[in-house]
Structure 1
Amino acid sequence: EVTPCPGVLSSEGPQNPPVLSGCAIIVRGQPRGGPPPERQINLSNIRAGNLARRAAASQPDSKDTPDEPWGFPAREFLRKKLIGKEVCFTVEYKTPQGREYGMVYLGKDTSGENIAESLVAEGLASRREGIRANNPEQSRLAELEEQARSAKKGMWSEGTGSHTVRDLKYSLENPRHFVDSLHQKPVNGEVAPCPCVPLSLCPHVFVSLCPPVSPCTPVPVSPCVSMYPGPCVPSVPVSPCPCVPNGNITELLLKEGFARCVDWSIAVYTRGADKLRAAERFAKERKLRIWRDYVAPTANLDQKDKQFVAKVMQVLNADAIVVKLNSGDYKTIHLSSIRPPRLEGDSAQDKNRKLRPLYDIPYMFEAREFLRKKLIGKKVNVSVDYIRPASSATDTVPAFSERTCATVSIGGINIAEALVSKGLATVLRYRQDDDQRSAHYDELLAAEARAIKNGKGLHSKKEVPIHRVADISGDTQKAKQFLPFLQRAGRSEAVVEYVFSGSRLKLFLPKETCLITFLLAGIECPRGARNAPGLAQEGEPFSEEATLFTKELVMQREVEVEVESMDKAGNFIGWLHIEGVNLSVALVEQALSRVHFTAERSPYCKALLAAQDAAKQRKEKVWSHYEETPVEEVVPVLEEKERTTNYKPVFVTEITDDLHFYVQDVETGAQLEKLMENMRAEVGAHPPVEGAFVPRRGDFCIAKFVDGEWYRARVEKVESGGKVHIFYIDYGNKETLPPTRLAPLPPAFSPRVLPPQATEYSFAFIQVPQDEEARADAVDSVVRDIQNTQCLLNVEHLGPGCPHVTLQFADSKSDVGLGLVKEGLVMVEPRKERQFQKVITEYLNAQEAAKSARLNLWRYGDFRADDADEFGYSR
């Protein structure tokens, strides 16, 4: 078999190319336990032109020898005909120097095409002088040569054949210009006998493979063509075209374990670096050849430990996060193969002050904020790349514990790559044999190259951002100066930087650019353990649980704080809200804190006491040993006319702008769920034809809500433009939809089968403010307190439009309407019915208390007679 390219080095040096000239080839046998045997066969009785030779560098007097006419076409004829093909050869004689001469036939026996005859027939070779036609083979050559001469083929054509002589250039005056010109399109080249030997490429410059390297391959730095300092001679490497029938040679070498990828060149490889990495990974997994001793970085991990989904709880640094696993355990994850911003150089100023890495290291704060906003509280995909073992400290490097390094992605985005692309981190460089790196290392290098090119972040030439953050934690004098400002500000935006305990936090106020210590008001949290010098104190029960709860809820989250006061140590005291949740109330609800007596003066007292009463009844955590003080039973004396109370459980589904509300009966909730399940199954099995339903006022139908599910509805109005106003009969909310989101209601699920489940009610004993802002405040309060919650409902009396009722919270049994009166959000509706006088008196007493406290409607004192009409009330 004619060897296509040995591509290896023998002990004597590079082997010869498979086609040496127009009359000499290298044939290769079958490998048996080692490299295959090779033999040079020179074709008998013919001669072809010699190829050009470069002057030997070791011989100063030698000169470059050009091609002989028709020498290169003869060599090309043999190369195209024989490379990779099976041949049969016979040796006719051997010279004293060991050179063998014979005949070569295409195929497995001598019946195949005679290569020497083909050359002579094409006019690419001639019979050797002095050879007489004294045998059939020689006679055949003479006959073929005469035919070629008569047909003026090849060397027998008119002219000197100078057009077949190559104009070879062994060096380039402007290599970069040549490289740039070759970037525009793939270039065809010829494979050399060894990667150390330059390849021939028209217009005859030297090229080699890229980008992987085998034991002696020079390495380029571009995806297809680029300059490189080769170990042999400077040359212009060219990637083999990936469109050839046998595939991309680069990938094949990697896949068979003959080569490894090179980081510094593959980063700019435009023909699919991921394919090269995949080919290398294929060889690694099968331990082929150079990877026979390969051990994967995560070989000792189970599959569930290699890839998992977790919730991000904290950003430790610009390259490290803390996640919560499904098991409830916490794990620190380091982003693979990147380095966070670091301080370059140690100025005298840096040495004389305490370094705060987050604010003093350039771009560290930006990197942390990028990760915090992207990840905190969200679920991410974690793919472990390697485990970095623990290391001991040295003179220059601190000690490190074992690190789990992984690729973290969210929504298909590699967070490390996004960080690097913004110039907020750099990519680590590794030794060529260091396999402990990110599985997406090439993407990281490419992202860094883009960041450098665009001057992003750390690579920017602009002035480094400076964060002047004042830490007033524990500084009483500064805290006193800030206190009035924060009190007047009402709710201020903040970021929770650290959680010391369940009720003690460190906050960063962005607008004020300061750090404060913040204590939650209105509660008394269990004290944690103290290990100060000379003071060792065990923590109270459930202190760790309270700290963990606060961390999971607010750590590094954006929150709102209301500052009320400060203590003598310079710590601010107030209320912290996150997404509508009061942290003080949440801790009390979880039975992780008790209500402090100071809460009586706050607007959140009712919510705190209700939460505490519910926790006491459950006897959980801090209330696990709570026993109620027995109260002597008092037999009430019934009045002549008693108010009837029959509270039933309901679920509040909708609050209207005029403070009406819709509820579902809890007792029939299971029937509604079953009906919805069956209805959606039928609609899914027989989808309605879009646009087939023509809505008319009063029609029952089904409507597709924003969650993509179908619900029962009633058409209330059809606009001329086609929009349809509908009312969801089981929930009480309204919506305007196009007809395409409506369909007929299947008869099996009509109101005759199950009546509409949403019933409208109004609060009894109160008057809703006519002023829009005041009414909106009342509605917002009710929405926060009872929407989508279970309550207890009692019908008090009938009214125009809908029944008037009282509502109670399901857990605390406190009156919702009475709470609105206490907060000064509504006024009491005087009623003369005798059975209501007791409850009306309670409402009026609450109203007087709200007046005294100047709450909401009463913040300017009692109403004057001329104010009544303005605010929509009457005396």
Structure 2
Amino acid sequence: GGRMRAVVEAVLSSNRLKLTIPAQSTVLAFSLNGVRAPAPARRGGGGDAPRDAEPYGDEALLSVRHRVLQREVDVEVVTCDKSGAFLGSMYIGNDPSRMEDLSVMLVRDGLARVMRRDAPPELKAAESAAKSSKLRIWESYVEPTEEELAAAAAGGGSQNGAGNSAGGAGARPDTRETFDAMVTEIEERGAFWAQRASNQATIERIQGALKEAGASAAPPASRFAVGTMVMCQFSSDKQWYRASVESAAKDGSSYDVFYVDFGNCESVTADRMRPLTPDLLSTPPLAQHFQLAYVRVPSYNADGGSEAVELLGEVLFQGMCSFRVEETEKGEGKGPRLSATIHKVTVYPKSDAGEASSSSSSSSSAPVSAQAALLQAGLALLHPRGSRPGPHRDEAVRSLKGHEDEARKAHRGIFRYGDPGSDDEL
């Protein structure tokens, strides 16, 4: 907690920076929390496809570099994602009593948009001012009329989320499962893994037992077979976690494993593996597989795919999220990863007060659901045909369509060259 002094070593994008913390002799990745600037151009190489800049993306990148590169700043960390990147606020200026929030500066200049409804008042005020002045990314912004707001409310909630079931005396009760969960791993195409909040005590118990077992267990005397549950020492933090063996080198020197309580994969050497004790085998895997309902997200190497993964990280790695299951389908394959049930869900980041943002609340320009965030950024297409027909699906598509239309009109993301066509082509 509290602010730390840091030096900005590199500006990787308008939202993501590489910092050194001199007091701790630490280098870390840092992302601005709760805002998103347009993506700059990318030349390609290193496995990444080249891309043109989103409108004002290069200007946003230059603005951040001009303000902070190779300079001392203050940072305040809010949370950390599973990849080790820290999320928070960055403050700049020579006078400690008059330092400015970099996120507010970008939003005020029309070079970033607010991504959370529970954002601080100064961020909301900065975005409102930029919209009123039609600055940069808001140059084509048109304030919705009272009639449009009323129509959106009558059509199944605001345009910000997937909506709740309409009320009324004859309304059927909503039986969809809802729960809180912590996202631990994000994949391509809008898929990710998460731990239910109700399992947090079990996870803490297992991690405590693994820490003790890992410190005393002897290295394996024989090879591990594919499908065996083991405990592995994760490369980033050197802690022990439960894992399933997915493949093995012919000589048994290394293995590909899946961490069953977190959803990520890694290649490990045999000396970082131990047999799992019987008491740790009895608890089923605690990471569950999810995919965003009603939208189709590009694959990682397709246009907009890597940006979609990055944006989902900004939206979902904020702490606990609220989940609503729209439908489920059985995984196809063997082992804990490929056979896991896929829950198609609507996800809402929770506010600092611990309450999920509700689509039935007052209209706001900041997206509520993860689906809305991707659609508004032009990094997904509505995909109603991928879900079962019914009133919930129809209501969700109605409430989300405004975000897709806005991105298409502004030529954001996958719409930068026009309409990409069918969602089956992503």
TM bin, normalised by shorter chain, reads: 0.5 to 0.7
Q: Tell me if 1:491 matches 2:50.
A: no
Alignment of 1:292-441 (within 5 A): 377-379=21-23
**Partner letter of residue 807 of structure 1?**
V
* Residue 640 of structure 1, CA deviation: 5.3
**Partner letter of residue 494 of structure 1?**
H
In structure 1, the partner of 2:40 is none
Q: Tell me if 1:841 matches 2:411.
A: no
* Residue 599 of structure 1, CA deviation: 4.1
Task: Provide the rounded CA distance (Å) in 2 between the counterparts of 1:797 and 1:376.
Answer: 44
User: Is 2:193–2:287's contact at 8 Å kept on the other side of the alignment?
Assistant: yes
In structure 2, the partner of 1:595 is 125
User: Is 2:263–2:288's contact at 8 Å kept on the other side of the alignment?
Assistant: yes
User: Is 2:115–2:315's contact at 8 Å kept on the other side of the alignment?
Assistant: no
* Structure 1: tracts of 5 or more residues without a match: 1-309, 315-374, 381-409, 412-485, 500-543, 565-572, 577-581, 606-634
Task: Provide the rounded CA distance (Å) in 2 between the counterparts of 1:854 and 1:773.
Answer: 13
* Residue 659 of structure 1, CA deviation: 2.5
* Residue 764 of structure 1, CA deviation: 0.6
Task: Provide the rounded CA distance (Å) in 1 between the counterparts of 2:209 and 2:106.
Answer: 48
TM-score normalised by L of structure 1: 0.31
User: Is 1:651–1:663's contact at 8 Å kept on the other side of the alignment?
Assistant: yes
Task: Provide the rounded CA distance (Å) in 2 between the counterparts of 1:548 and 1:645.
Answer: 50
CA gap 1:773/1:785 in 2 versus in 1, 3 angstroms: same
Q: 1:810 aligns with which of 350, 361, 367?
A: 350
In structure 1, the partner of 2:228 is 699
1:228-273 deviation digits (Å, cap 9, x = unpaired)? xxxxxxxxxxxxxxxxxxxxxxxxxxxxxxxxxxxxxxxxxxxxxx
CA gap 1:548/1:793 in 2 versus in 1, 3 angstroms: farther
**Partner letter of residue 762 of structure 1?**
Q
Q: 1:822 aligns with which of 376, 381, 401?
A: 376
User: Is 2:181–2:197's contact at 8 Å kept on the other side of the alignment?
Assistant: yes
Task: Provide the rounded CA distance (Å) in 2 between the counterparts of 1:848 and 1:840.
Answer: 12
**Partner letter of residue 406 of structure 2?**
A
CA gap 1:602/1:737 in 2 versus in 1, 3 angstroms: farther
* Residue 699 of structure 1, CA deviation: 0.3
* Residue 847 of structure 1, CA deviation: 1.6
* Residue 785 of structure 1, CA deviation: 1.6
Alignment of 1:72-91 (within 5 A): none
CA gap 1:602/1:650 in 2 versus in 1, 3 angstroms: farther
Q: Percent identity?
A: 20
The structure number with the bigger radius of gyration is 1
User: Is 1:824–1:857's contact at 8 Å kept on the other side of the alignment?
Assistant: yes
CA gap 1:808/1:710 in 2 versus in 1, 3 angstroms: same
**Partner letter of residue 668 of structure 1?**
N
Q: Tell me if 1:796 matches 2:353.
A: no
Q: Name the SS of the counterpart of 2:304 in structure 1.
A: helix
CA gap 1:593/1:495 in 2 versus in 1, 3 angstroms: closer
In structure 1, the partner of 2:271 is 740
User: Is 1:701–1:744's contact at 8 Å kept on the other side of the alignment?
Assistant: yes
Q: Tell me if 1:757 matches 2:274.
A: no
* Residue 843 of structure 1, CA deviation: 1.9
In structure 2, the partner of 1:852 is 409
CA gap 1:602/1:732 in 2 versus in 1, 3 angstroms: farther
CA gap 1:838/1:857 in 2 versus in 1, 3 angstroms: same
Task: Provide the rounded CA distance (Å) in 2 between the counterparts of 1:663 and 1:603.
Answer: 36
User: Is 2:190–2:296's contact at 8 Å kept on the other side of the alignment?
Assistant: no
Q: How many residues align?
A: 299
**Partner letter of residue 653 of structure 1?**
T
User: Is 2:322–2:347's contact at 8 Å kept on the other side of the alignment?
Assistant: yes
Q: 1:682 aligns with which of 201, 210, 213?
A: 213
TM-score normalised by L of structure 2: 0.60
Q: Name the SS of the counterpart of 2:329 in structure 1.
A: coil
Task: Provide the rounded CA distance (Å) in 1 between the counterparts of 2:306 and 2:376.
Answer: 17
User: Is 1:654–1:788's contact at 8 Å kept on the other side of the alignment?
Assistant: no
Q: Name the SS of the counterpart of 1:803 in structure 2.
A: strand
In structure 1, the partner of 2:305 is 775
Task: Provide the rounded CA distance (Å) in 1 between the counterparts of 2:110 and 2:411.
Answer: 21
**Partner letter of residue 683 of structure 1?**
G
* Residue 694 of structure 1, CA deviation: 1.5
Task: Provide the rounded CA distance (Å) in 2 between the counterparts of 1:604 and 1:673.
Answer: 44
User: Is 1:652–1:787's contact at 8 Å kept on the other side of the alignment?
Assistant: yes
**Partner letter of residue 815 of structure 1?**
S
**Partner letter of residue 346 of structure 2?**
T
Task: Provide the rounded CA distance (Å) in 1 between the counterparts of 2:304 and 2:123.
Answer: 34
**Partner letter of residue 810 of structure 1?**
K
Greater relative contact order, per chain length (Cα 8 Å cut-off, separation 6+)? 2
* Residue 647 of structure 1, CA deviation: 2.4
CA gap 1:824/1:687 in 2 versus in 1, 3 angstroms: same
Q: 1:717 aligns with which of 247, 253, 257?
A: 247
1:130-164 deviation digits (Å, cap 9, x = unpaired)? xxxxxxxxxxxxxxxxxxxxxxxxxxxxxxxxxxx
User: Is 2:193–2:262's contact at 8 Å kept on the other side of the alignment?
Assistant: yes
* Residue 643 of structure 1, CA deviation: 4.9
CA gap 1:872/1:697 in 2 versus in 1, 3 angstroms: same
Q: 1:729 aligns with which of 260, 265, 272?
A: 260
In structure 2, the partner of 1:28 is none
User: Is 2:318–2:349's contact at 8 Å kept on the other side of the alignment?
Assistant: no
Task: Provide the rounded CA distance (Å) in 1 between the counterparts of 2:416 and 2:179.
Answer: 36
In structure 2, the partner of 1:305 is none
User: Is 1:642–1:835's contact at 8 Å kept on the other side of the alignment?
Assistant: no
User: Is 2:303–2:414's contact at 8 Å kept on the other side of the alignment?
Assistant: no
Task: Provide the rounded CA distance (Å) in 2 between the counterparts of 1:603 and 1:678.
Answer: 54
Task: Provide the rounded CA distance (Å) in 2 between the counterparts of 1:815 and 1:784.
Answer: 12
Q: Name the SS of the counterpart of 1:494 in structure 2.
A: helix
User: Is 2:254–2:268's contact at 8 Å kept on the other side of the alignment?
Assistant: yes
1:401-421 deviation digits (Å, cap 9, x = unpaired)? xxxxxxxxx79xxxxxxxxxx
**Partner letter of residue 196 of structure 2?**
D
User: Is 1:698–1:715's contact at 8 Å kept on the other side of the alignment?
Assistant: yes
CA gap 1:851/1:647 in 2 versus in 1, 3 angstroms: same
* Residue 851 of structure 1, CA deviation: 1.5
In structure 2, the partner of 1:188 is none
User: Is 2:107–2:130's contact at 8 Å kept on the other side of the alignment?
Assistant: no
Task: Provide the rounded CA distance (Å) in 1 between the counterparts of 2:292 and 2:182.
Answer: 15
In structure 2, the partner of 1:383 is none
* Residue 657 of structure 1, CA deviation: 2.5
User: RMSD between aligned alpha carbons?
Assistant: 4.0
* Residue 725 of structure 1, CA deviation: 0.8
Task: Provide the rounded CA distance (Å) in 1 between the counterparts of 2:57 and 2:313.
Answer: 27
* Residue 666 of structure 1, CA deviation: 0.7
